[in-house]
Amino acid sequence: MSNLQSSSENRNNRVLVCVGGGIAAYKVCEVVSTLFKSGVEVRVILTRSAQEFITPLTLATLSRHPAYTDNDFWQPTHSRPLHIELGEWADLIVIAPLTANTLAKLTYGMADNLLTNTVLASTCPVLLAPAMNTDMWEQLTVQRNWQQLLTDSRYHGMSTASGLLACDRIGAGRMAEPAEIVTRIHSLLHTGGKRDLVGKRILISAGGTREYLDPVRFIGNPSTGKMGLALAQAALHRGANVTLVHGIANWDVPLGVQAIPVISAEEMQQVMLEYLPNADVIVMSAAVADVKPKDYSTEKLPKRSLPQALPVEPVPDIVAQLAQLKQPHQLLIGFAAQTGDIITPAKEKLQTKKLDVIVANPIDQPDSGFGSNNNQAIFLDGQNHQLEVAHCSKLEMAHHLFDFVMSRHA
């Protein structure tokens, strides 16, 4: 069995954050702070107009390193040109907020400041988080530049959100939220910018189902759907078309993911079977109930009327049905959340359910499994390949799973 250690044990990733001029620049403070706290080395460049909104001192404090401006670019205080040093240093460049002006410069290869010179002097992936007034964002010239720049595989664009803008306009043009930017950064650091799921349609189930006895009581489990969310994010960031079928959730669905909320196992079964024919990869990460109350009351039962022994009946075995109906070109991945010995029951489920891959993850280990932001697991497939992934974030776990699948079953 091969082992895969968490990337936190490797050299710290290096991210160069470039701040453009716009009110959304204040959001970058949270991005820089969060990256530093996660162990990423951060350097910051501010354009001249960015300094009208936020100071170099603020970002220097958050990154624990001096922030660079055009004044540094033109000073002969470095042994090598600053833009060359920064361009070679970075594993990833993030431009947030990306203004219409910087977008135009990048599209046509112009370099008249530290930011644009550094981008041209680098070869790493570049993440773009645009932000501007709705009319500006929707200008034909801006959209043409945006689409043209994204034809270069180096550049990875984040969608703008709609809402109330600083100009009091309600519409498109809001910069992606810091948490979404940070998630995309970690994805790009893992993949190096590869888009190996382009053209793939990924169907994912997530979260727990609820089987109601009456309008207020149900049989359920502690699943929050965070693992399924991470799988959807990872697949989306690698270029896939993602459909996420999820139970009750307290997280936001990523822009670009088709999300279908359900409650019961029967509802999840109907949706999964509906979308199965068009899927290339199906990931059944949901924690589906095993049984449901045999009888349902449309009104809340008084406490005195609750049965001493609750009659139950099985719910549909969704993953078994998917396995029976899937086509040879489709891959079906299941999850087995276990305590104690996780491998033996996972191998049994892999065979009896006729899965292509199964993820065995312990739910009795600290900071892993249900409700946690982290996980650990062992991947197994029908060809006796086995990979152990050490404790890491669920996003990283999701990427390791797609790495495992694509390397052996692409």
- Average pLDDT over every residue of 126-149: 95
Contact predicate 324/316, CB 8 Å: no
If one compares 408 and 124, the residue with the highest pLDDT of the two is 124
Question: Is 354 among the annotated ligand-binding positions?
Answer: no
Question: Is 290 among the annotated ligand-binding positions?
Answer: yes
Highest mean pLDDT: which of 71-80, 277-286, 287-296? 277-286
Query: What values do phi and psi take at 328, rounded to 5?
Result: -55, -30
Q: Of 18, 29, 124, 167, which is the active-site residue?
A: 167
Question: Is 91 among the annotated ligand-binding positions?
Answer: no
Question: Is 364 among the annotated ligand-binding positions?
Answer: no
pLDDT tens digits, one per residue of 174-199: 899 999 999 999 999 999 999 999 99
Give me 374's structure tokens.
């982290």
Question: Is 349 among the annotated ligand-binding positions?
Answer: yes
Q: What is the pLDDT of residue 386?
A: 92
Mean pLDDT check: name the lowest of 5-14, 150-159, 395-404. Answer: 5-14
pLDDT tens digits, one per residue of 336-374: 988 888 899 999 999 999 999 999 999 888 888 888 899
pLDDT tens digits, one per residue of 34-60: 999 999 999 999 999 999 999 999 999
Contact predicate 48/70, CB 8 Å: yes
Pairing state between β 312-314 and 386-393? unpaired
pLDDT at 9 over 50: no
**CB proximity list for 289: less than 8 A, separation 6 or greater:** 208, 209, 210, 211, 219, 220, 221, 264, 265, 315
CA angle, 243 then 246 then 252, to 5°: 85
Active site residue 29: no
Domains for the chain: give ranges and CATH numbers. 2-191 (3.40.50.1950), 201-409 (3.40.50.10300)
Question: Is 316 among the annotated ligand-binding positions?
Answer: yes
pLDDT tens digits, one per residue of 218-230: 999 999 999 999 9
